[in-house]
Amino acid sequence: MALQGILVLELAGLAPGPFCAMVLADFGARVVRVERPGSHYDVSRLGRGKRSLALDLKQPRGAAVLRRLCARSDVLLEPFRSGVMEKLQLGPEILQRDNPKLIYARLTGFGQSGSFSRLAGHDINYLALSGVLSKIGRNGENPYAPLNLLADFAGGGLMCVLGIMMALFERTRSGKGQVIDANMVEGTAYLSSFLWKTQKSSLWEAPRGQNILDGGAPFYTTYRTADGEFMAVGAIEPQFYELLIKGLGLKSDELPNQMSMDDWPEMKKKFAAVFAKKTKAEWCQIFDGTDACVTPVLTLEEVVHHDHSKERGSFITNEEQSISPRPAPLLSNTPAIPSFKRDPFVGEHTEEILDEFGFSREEIDQLKSDKIIESNKVKASL
């Protein structure tokens, strides 16, 4: 795989960090998740392909263990607020002195500097500060966050993956690692570059929820069907819009101009009334295979069984029969080969990892006795 031979240490955190490390593991990196003793499992459920080491970093000897691990690793991924790692004597200046090739990836909400850098937050807060939240929501209603996908996983986890990949590539030329300041606010803002670059265009001239791409247009929204399901419509271009009108059984010459914004509210009502007359399956029969840009709104259960998903093998099932999306994108020569094993228990691999990093049996036993590390080996059932 593309990242074969790359060793990553992931310090346990919530969703963005675990997702970042899982992507690296999916594409071949060896990922060790360093977790707090006493914790039961990764609440994010994103431990695929990783091994678990339970280590108490708050104790100086625990921090010393991590320092030894970092001396032989390629990437350290840490999710703590600004200053936390420095207090533990594990800041980049110290760790990169030991290992100049170490890539030190810092993934936080607000970044390593600025007045918010030491504050707590969640996806909705980062989304709000990025400016993006102000653009999401229906006309006359409060802005709303689209789950916790945009800031946590796109602006945070995936942007951090990008930073790590670029740092790994640059290291092939300089031989040196670097520090990555990945944060959800700026990552989400960067994702919204299209919004910034088109602010003065006609795309956003109306208030939130009344524009083409934010639910205002009758040809770019969702409609309820006769069976209480939904269809998604994205027929922007004139030729696609004509196919939409044809599929709905309407006539263009009897409708207002597609781009007449004053008529959009009434056109949405008309389209809604038509969509409500047939079931989702019936609309699929009409629009499937056309360029009308009309598709069913699939549930998570439905998407797994959809023909397109099955034809491409878009989902995988692990040994516990848990279904999840196959890693993307597809690489022709070095595709991701995700693990099909269950996620690791906290501390399941503690002893074997330390052994691989050169810790003696006596050192491991002493660390275990002093509760610096925790080992939760799986016992065989006979």
Span 173-205, pLDDT tens digits: 999 999 999 999 999 999 999 999 999 888 999
The mean per-residue pLDDT over the stretch 95-123 comes to: 96
- 379 pLDDT band, cuts 50/70/90, is low
116-147 pLDDT tens trace: 999 999 999 999 999 999 999 999 999 999 99
Return d(Cα 33, Cα 18) in angstroms, integer: 8
- 264 pLDDT band, cuts 50/70/90, is very high
In the numeric block, the tokens 């989304």 are attached to 127
State yes or no: cis peptide before 329, omega within 30 of 0.
yes
Strands 220-224 and 230-234: antiparallel
Whether residue 308 lies in the annotated active site: no
Return d(Cα 150, Cα 130) in angstroms, integer: 11
pTM: 0.93
HSE-CB for 210 with a 13 A CA cutoff = 13
pLDDT for 44 beyond 70: yes
pLDDT for 382 beyond 50: no
In the numeric block, the tokens 């050192």 are attached to 363
| Mean pLDDT, all residues of the chain | 95
Return d(Cα 50, Cα 24) in angstroms, integer: 10
Burial class (CB in 10 A: 0-12, 13-18, 19+), 316: middle
DSSP 8-state code for residue 270 = H
Mark residue 184 as left, alpha or beta (left: phi above 0; alpha: psi -120 to 50; beta: remaining): alpha
pLDDT for 91 beyond 50: yes
Query: What residues contact 180, with CB distance under 8 A and at least 6 apart?
Result: 103, 104, 105, 106, 160, 163, 164, 167
156-180: burial string, b at 16+ Cβ within 10 Å, e else: bbbbbbbbbbebbeebeeeeebbbb
**pLDDT at residue 41, as a whole number:** 75
CA dihedral in degrees (293, 299, 302, 306; nearest 10)?
Answer: 20
Angle at 308 between CA 305 and CA 310, to 5 degrees: 50
Return d(Cα 258, Cα 77) in angstroms, integer: 49
Return d(Cα 304, Cα 298) in angstroms, integer: 9
Whether residue 152 lies in the annotated active site: yes
The mean per-residue pLDDT over the stretch 254-270 comes to: 96
Catalytic pick among 152, 214, 343, 349: 152
pLDDT for 235 beyond 70: yes
Query: What residues contact 243, with CB distance under 8 A and at least 6 apart?
Result: 235, 290, 291, 292
Q: Which domains, ranges and CATH numbers included, belong to the chain?
A: 7-192+318-374 (3.40.50.10540), 220-297 (3.30.1540.10)
Find, among 309, 339, 310, 347, the residue nearest to 46 by Cα: 339
Catalytic pick among 122, 181, 263, 355: 122
